[in-house]
Amino acid sequence: MYHKGLYHLFYQYNPFGPLWRKNITWAHSVSHDLINWAHLDHALHPIDSFDINGCWSGSITFLDGNNPVILYTGIDSQDRQVQNLAVPKNLLDPLLTEWSKSPHNPLMIPTNGLKPDLFRDPTTAWLGPDKIWRVIVGAEIDGKGMAILYKSRDFVKWNRTNNPLHLSAKTIMWECPDFFPVSLGSTNGVDFSYDQDQSDNKHVLKVSFHSRDYYILGKYDPKTDDFVVESDFLDAGSDLRLDYGKFYASKSFYDSAKKRRILWSWVNESDSDADSVKKGWSGLQSFPRSMVLSESGWQLIQWPIKEIEKLRSNEVDLQYENLKGGSVFEISGVTASQADVEVTFDVEGLEYAELFDTSWVDPQLLCSQKNASVGGKVGPFGLLVLASNDLTEQTAIFFHVFRSSDKYVVLMCSDQSRSSLWEGLDKTTYGAFVDLDPSKEKITLRSLIDHSIVESFGGEGRTCITARVYPKMAIDKEAHLYAFNYGSESITISKLGAWSMKSAQFVSMEKMSGIWVIGVLFSVLFSHGTEASYHGQRSSHYPSSQGQPYRTAFHFQPPKNWMNGPMYYKGVYHLFYQYNPDSAVWGNITWAHSISFDLVNWIHLDIALNPTDPYDINGCWSGSATILPGEKPAILYTGSDTRKRQVQNLAVPKNLSDPFLTEWLKSPNNPLMSPTDDIDPDLFRDPTTAWRGPDGIWRVIVGAQIDGKGMAILYKSRDFVKWNRTKNPLHSSTKTKMWECPDFYPVGVNTTDGKDHSADQVQDQFNTKYVLKASFHDQDHYVVGKYVPKTDAYEVESDFLDAGLDLRYDYGKFYASKTFYDNEKKRRILWGWVTESDTQLDDKNKGWSGLQSIPRSIVLGKSGRQLVQWPIKEIEKLRRKEVFNLHDKELKGGSVFEVSGVMASQADVEVSFDVRGKKKVEIFDPSWADPQLLCSQKNVSVKGKVGPFGLFVLASKDLTEQTAIFFRLFRSSEKYVVLMCSDQSR
């Protein structure tokens, strides 16, 4: 299922060994991209009377829009198959790590002709137009396979209907049924929703029997629950199947994020139980496939989801390669044991194709008889995968074209007969017909090869075959990939693309000490809104939002205590921040660590860096993350050492295969940079994200103050360990003091895309400027200029003056900010630390202090002179319903208008003002150089001509309390002046 930015995979699992046993659990893994996975603690254990002998298959259903529940089969104390319910223990936990079984279990039991051992695998339930839930359960009665239909108003009390949804006298027990709509004429997936027109949909009923997954198409009437099929299950070679190889007990789900239906399947082993025991594992999941209805409307089309392409590397590209009869051609340059291959064949000589015998009704039998070694006319041709150098071992994925009286017949085969020299393996040959006309379209094949599994998609996904093979010789680097043609007629490879595939990341997060416990309870964004969720680890008790009126709901905050560099890495956003785990005031500073998949919902992990070493024993202070070549993140941070000197240190991940980067190792070379010569040991801190110059040398700046000048000291390194200070700082200013938390990055001219320091992004120096940000006097100031990477010269357009005219990120409470480049969405994102405005005593009473601003996208304005910021788009997912929309409302002078209908303490408001009467505006005095002072003098209670006008937020009903966000217009001799104020005086 997909839930709050995460994909969840629940699956039957034996935690005690690689063989099936009755004591099956529901294992649980999560992913942000369906590629890289984290294994969590098991979701369901067989410990209750209704599932004591096993938690078997089932499905997820969403209730009330976004609340997931599980219906699953349990094997009870009497060995009966019964249907049970489980719900999340904590809906605020985005990982859904704990589940509670219903006290009403079992909900459905085998009665009225149902055999207790032939009643299992409930589907995802769906809600009818009568607001009654439906679900089907697989069964067999009197030798007939069937989908028994149940109904419920409350999802607890279920009643069996008089008739099953469908049955077939030609089949036996139906396992793992699936029932879902598909759209006619659209590549989007659809879900059950009866507030929408269903006339353009068909419905699919999939059932599993005889170790195969079959399906039928039909029209379903949600009012009567009639399902009229186009063709029925016959248990014959002509039946429609999802996959014609080793592919069973599949399950689909609707991905609401990308509007697609995704199919998974269990792929069993083809070796022996003894082999599985020796390996220590058995079984895997097919790669997720998108699934749509074909243009013809009578079969399903499947294709690997787009995300797999992020694993591709080292492409080999071939075009118009002629394969003469009897030829074999090696496709070199790819890792043949771990590859993705797409090939298009242009078939010639169709008039010479062999005649098709109408008695050939079983394609699998035909593939066995006419295997890859049996030469023909047009075919066999295709790929030899996981092949040895001498072709002693090979798995052949191929086509054979025949000619009947009125059409061509395309046979697709997967021949495992020569796949391995090992004995005792299942080397069944698989086959199916492909619905295409080779005289009108080319024949395509895509094969995903992953060591012991080959998933093949013929005819652009019209026919799919999955095989398990275990070569003895053709393993790892000894595996080869070939194209072949053993027919007499020539075949042309019009296009072939082959890629070596990188490995996906899998990390186990089971039983990691104290990481996953109950998170903070948050209220809604609007009165009908959505919650941002936070899930953390540091305490079993977090402050509730009740009794905490100042605690935020959609800004990032740690669960408690005091807080103060972000990065995007392999699909996960990481936020590292200064944190005092012991108190709500500044003190024992660590590097805390939280992750998110959307920058809105957060998971608090264990602390990344603790002050435990001589070079940081008095605190792990600010720093930045840098991605080194090979996608290796590294942290440069300031440590306060045993002498309380500020020194710069390095830390790297302990395990790069962990996508959450939960553990970090400090470098044995620490400290890398120490305060020497003229550097004050108290005024030397906060290294930036490093960047690499065109000479291949790394640069980094560190904030400092020397001789009363704030500056960014520049260091260089070839290996990221040994750093040398340059003769001159990158920049300095006599008008400022110590520069804290400097930041330095490129911005594009006349573009809304962000830029990174990489050479390919900044090579156009004419359309690139550089921002230098420095934090001092509790404010974040910045300058814009031109940077020459070859010489490290930085020429600013206007300098820091420490005056009201300085450019600032934010003119309020916003300090020690940090940007990072989000390469996924090609944007630069800004965070700022927002401190409290109450006392330390208040902070201690609250139990927390400090938060992060909402992440903001940041670009260079059209003028090229200043930056423009806006909340990231993701924040809008917390808006569920717009409850107030106003147009053309006139606000007369002296008026106040209440914006009702929103939860005003937790809201998102956008307003546009059309200003009239500009000729009457007050004259601007050129001595008004300090806008903050001007806002204090002309606060909201001081009436003017055009302004003050704006919003009263967090206001009491009688306006005794109010925070005014407002504008005033003034007129100088040559232009208008707009003043924006935030008045907290009341």
User: pLDDT band at 763, cuts 50/70/90?
Assistant: low
Which range among 302-306, 588-592, 773-777 shows the weakest confidence by mean pLDDT?
A: 588-592
The answer to whether 661 and 715 have CB atoms below 8 angstroms apart is no
The answer to whether 936 and 914 have CB atoms below 8 angstroms apart is no
CA nearest neighbour of 371 among 331, 408, 418, 404: 418
C-alpha 661/C-alpha 654 separation (Å) is 8
pLDDT tens per residue, range 307-359: 999 999 999 999 999 999 999 999 999 999 999 999 999 998 999 999 999 99
Predicted pLDDT at 799: 87
C-alpha 700/C-alpha 687 separation (Å) is 7
Q: Are strands 848-849 and 561-563 parallel, antiparallel or unpaired?
A: parallel
C-alpha 247/C-alpha 208 separation (Å) is 10
User: pLDDT band at 765, cuts 50/70/90?
Assistant: confident
Given the structure tokens 């098991």, which residue do they identify? 42
| Tokens (6 digits) for 5 | 């930015």
The percent of residues above 90 in pLDDT, for the chain, comes to 73
Q: Which of 602-611, 655-664, 773-782 is most confident? A: 773-782
Report which secondary-structure segment, H or E, holds 841: helix 840-846
Predicted pLDDT at 552: 60
| Tokens (6 digits) for 854 | 């909402």
The answer to whether 563 and 851 have CB atoms below 8 angstroms apart is yes
Question: Where does residue 346 rank: exposed (0-12), middle (13-18), buried (19+ CB within 10 A)?
Answer: middle
User: pLDDT band at 117, cuts 50/70/90?
Assistant: very high
Torsion of CA 451, 457, 463, 465, to 10 degrees: 0
* 581 preceded by a cis bond (ω within 30 of 0): no
Given the structure tokens 């509790």, which residue do they identify? 778
pLDDT tens per residue, range 884-918: 788 889 999 999 999 988 889 889 999 999 998 77
What is the biggest distance separating any 2 CA atoms in the chain, rounded to whole angstroms? 98
pLDDT tens per residue, range 718-737: 999 999 999 999 999 999 99
C-alpha 568/C-alpha 813 separation (Å) is 26
3-state secondary structure of 235: coil
C-alpha 717/C-alpha 687 separation (Å) is 14
3-state secondary structure of 369: helix
C-alpha 110/C-alpha 794 separation (Å) is 78
Q: Are strands 453-458 and 646-653 parallel, antiparallel or unpaired?
A: unpaired
End-to-end Cα, the chain, rounded Å:
48
User: pLDDT band at 842, cuts 50/70/90?
Assistant: confident
The answer to whether 85 and 103 have CB atoms below 8 angstroms apart is no
CA distance to 325, 353, 441, 510, 631, per residue, from 348 (Å): 11, 10, 12, 56, 46
pLDDT tens per residue, range 803-814: 667 899 999 999
Predicted pLDDT at 824: 87
User: For residue 532, which amino acid is it?
Assistant: A
Residues 6 or more apart from 681 whose CB is under 8 A from it?
Answer: 643, 644, 645, 646, 675
C-alpha 376/C-alpha 140 separation (Å) is 44
pLDDT of 927 strictly over 80 = yes
| Tokens (6 digits) for 814 | 């916003």
In the chain, how many H helices and how many E strands?
A: 5, 68
Q: What is the DSSP letter of 325?
A: T
Can you tell me the mean pLDDT for 508-516?
36
The answer to whether 217 and 298 have CB atoms below 8 angstroms apart is yes
Predicted pLDDT at 541: 29
Can you tell me the mean pLDDT for 827-843?
87
3-state secondary structure of 866: coil
Paired residues of 940 in beta bridges: none
The answer to whether 595 and 572 have CB atoms below 8 angstroms apart is yes
Report which secondary-structure segment, H or E, holds 845: helix 840-846
C-alpha 201/C-alpha 187 separation (Å) is 12
The answer to whether 249 and 175 have CB atoms below 8 angstroms apart is yes
Predicted pLDDT at 539: 29
3-state secondary structure of 890: coil
| Tokens (6 digits) for 310 | 């992020």
CA nearest neighbour of 820 among 872, 861, 766: 872
CA–CA–CA angle 248, 252, 256 (5° rounding): 165
3-state secondary structure of 729: coil
Can you tell me the mean pLDDT for 598-609?
86
Which is higher by pLDDT, 545 or 352? 352
C-alpha 528/C-alpha 704 separation (Å) is 48
pLDDT tens per residue, range 161-202: 999 999 999 999 999 999 999 999 899 999 987 666 667 899
Predicted pLDDT at 578: 84
C-alpha 306/C-alpha 296 separation (Å) is 23
| Tokens (6 digits) for 767 | 């359309």
pLDDT tens per residue, range 665-691: 999 999 999 998 899 999 999 999 999
Q: What is the DSSP letter of 842?
A: H
Q: What one-character-per-residue DSSP string does 605-619 give?
A: -S-SB-S-STTTTT-
Mean pLDDT over all residues of the chain? Answer: 89
Question: Where does residue 131 rank: exposed (0-12), middle (13-18), buried (19+ CB within 10 A)?
Answer: exposed
Predicted pLDDT at 601: 81
Torsion of CA 899, 901, 907, 908, to 10 degrees: -60
Which range among 28-42, 487-501, 758-772 shows the weakest confidence by mean pLDDT?
A: 758-772
Predicted pLDDT at 603: 82
What are φ and ψ of residue 624, in 5° steps?
Answer: -150, 160
C-alpha 191/C-alpha 488 separation (Å) is 48
Predicted pLDDT at 503: 87
Predicted pLDDT at 586: 67
Predicted pLDDT at 522: 19
Predicted pLDDT at 728: 96
Predicted pLDDT at 562: 41
